[in-house]
Structure 1
């Protein structure tokens, strides 16, 4: 709104012990530049390469809050349309299927991410995406559910918590000039060595292109 912005960090004081409070340390501000489409892909930022700042020395991932809490998404092109956040992870600290970053769906069906793309009614498209695990001890039978138009795909993935990924394909037909793509984890997961730490499957490299 102006060339000067005031930033305030405030503890609302809702903890049980008023003598305690959250620890505040490193702070970063990152300019979010306009993002263009990648040639051959109707999805903006399909590889999640553009996102919030990641500190180089240490990262446990960055929680991106849902749209109801933060209407200005730090993930260009994407909407967190759920009750819980999704986690932005980087290649330096996690296993990422492709590129430098990806999204971890950490709260089951309460952790969903979506994008609305331009389509031609009655035309067929292929939706391709990659799922895996972040090599962070998240294990078990995972499943990412993908929605595009009126079509749904349940993509399973068995994780040993040591990294790995697979690619899934969903063919759909557009019913309007706008089509919503939605992804969420079908199950809840925790780390193998910490059952209080929520985790989930990794989503990356989302691509949509028309079928000839």
Structure 2
């Protein structure tokens, strides 16, 4: 695997990883030379965990079939509960378990945890990306934590035809050494019923930026969670409480169980730049940002609506809200890419205003997977006392 399309890669050298201690502390400081089980990379803020793809597995003496029997049997990871080491193509009843990259993944059964101890920089923000797939449980979810923060990621909805989705989660480092844990809180009649986990990586998140002439932070979505180069399905950004950090700096995702998808230009059509957001959950999920405004002053919200060129076609629409103003932007998609610009001028009614986007409807590709319109290149500027208007081009 060669990470040819990482953000801001400075150098790339493939090396063979050999022998590591079971309880190593791995530093993930900015711009360092990173030792991973599959690659050594020098980057300015994209990082990987040791043995993050689980290709280095337990000795046969620490396996009972697929069940891992030793607490430190998986190199660089500590486990507890019912953990299995699964090879790609493993058959279980009428189900074949695939692995997104490489040959191996882990499965977290009843009350199972995998964790790794890492060194970070206090007060910096980080994003975790990992791949997960459902198996036989009905309402699967995962607890992701970096001491002392934690979050619950619902994974019962599958957004790819392969069954594997990439998830992201963010945190602010409170300590210089922390435990990154992924935990399955489920208790099933079959203890092996639980999600598969593969490809775990971490990267630093810069503070949300504002470009000149834009009141919104990260309005171009160029800062966001890491997307593995060989996973063409993007990364899901989960819902979260308002006081929790988002892997998409500056933005919030509001829903009970649904997500938005962060997509890249390497695998999708993007209106501008290298990244955009696909609204894959209809009205069940909203992407929003809160910004300081002056009551009575008028503002212009500009943004692009399009499709990701991923076969999601049909009559789409994005609903935009700001203060008391609303705008529905229709977009007729052929599923091959394209976009249009839209504009909403509104009057602020308070000193804080939420800018909100969601898809008007649910959409589905021919393979049965959920999809939706893309939003990108969002800007907000003050226009004084001009008359409010709604416009799309």
Counterpart among 380, 383, 390 of residue 208 in structure 1: 380
Question: Using the alignment, how far apart are the partners of 1:129 and 1:189 within structure 2?
Answer: 21
Question: Is residue 138 of structure 1 aligned with residue 296 of structure 2?
Answer: no
The alignment status of 1:41 with 2:214, answered yes or no, reads yes
8 Å CA contact retained: 2:264, 2:276? yes
For the aligned residue pairs, the C-alpha RMSD in angstroms reads 1.7
Quote how far apart the aligned CAs of 1:211 are. 1.4
- For 1:147-179, what per-residue CA distance to the aligned partner results, in whole angstroms no more than 9, with x for missing partners? 011100000001011111101100101112211
3-state SS of 2:185 partner? coil
Contact 1:190 1:198 in 2 (8 A): yes
What CA distance in whole angstroms lies between the structure 1 residues aligned with 2:382 and 2:243? Answer: 33
The secondary structure found in structure 2 opposite 1:156 is strand
Q: TM-score, normalised by structure 1?
A: 0.93
C-alpha displacement at 1:24, in angstroms?
A: 2.0
- Equivalent residues in 2 for 1:1-212 (5 A)? 1-13=174-186, 17-68=190-241, 71-83=244-256, 84-191=258-365, 193-195=366-368, 197-212=369-384
Q: What is the CA deviation profile of residues 92-138 of structure 1, one whole-angstrom value per residue up to 9, with x for unaligned ones?
A: 01111001101000010012111011112211111000010011111
Give 1 or 2: higher strand fraction: 2
The 1:138/1:16 distance shift into structure 2, 3 A limit, reads farther
Q: Bigger shift: 53-62 or 168-177? A: 53-62
Q: Residue 82 of structure 1 contacts residue 113 of structure 1 at CA under 8 Å; is this kept in 2?
A: no
In 2: Cα distance, 1:166 partner to 1:15 partner? 48
Unaligned residue ranges in structure 1 (runs of 5+): none
The verdict on how the C-alpha distance between 1:62 and 1:69 changes in structure 2, with shifts beyond 3 A counting, is farther
Instruction: From the superposition, tell whether residues 129 and 16 of structure 1 become closer, same or farther in structure 2 (CA, over 3 Å).
Output: farther
Instruction: State the distance in 2 between where 1:11 and 1:161 align.
Output: 36
Q: Alpha-carbon deviations, 1:6-34, whole Å to 9, x = none?
A: 11222334567543443222111111121
Closer/same/farther in 2, CA of residues 91 and 11 from structure 1, 3 Å limit:
same
Give the CA deviation at 1:89.
0.5
For residues 43 and 190 of structure 1, the distance between their equivalents in structure 2, rounded to whole angstroms, comes to: 31
For residues 78 and 61 of structure 1, the distance between their equivalents in structure 2, rounded to whole angstroms, comes to 17
CA distance in 2, matches of 1:54, 1:131: 22
Q: Tell me, yes or no, if the aligned pair for 1:134 and 1:161 is still in contact at 8 Å.
A: yes
Report the Cα distance in structure 1 between the residues aligned to 2:281 and 2:208, rounded to whole angstroms.
28
Contact 1:90 1:96 in 2 (8 A): yes
Q: Give the unaligned 5+ runs of structure 2.
A: 1-173, 385-393
Inter-CA distance 141–15: structure 2 relative to 1 (3 Å threshold): farther
Rounded Cα–Cα distance in structure 2 between residues aligned with 1:207 and 1:73:
19
TM-score normalised by length of structure 2 = 0.51
Alpha-carbon distance in structure 1 between the residues aligned to 2:243 and 2:181: 16
How many aligned residue pairs are there? 210
Q: Verify the 8 A CA contact 2:299 2:348 in the aligned structure 1.
A: yes
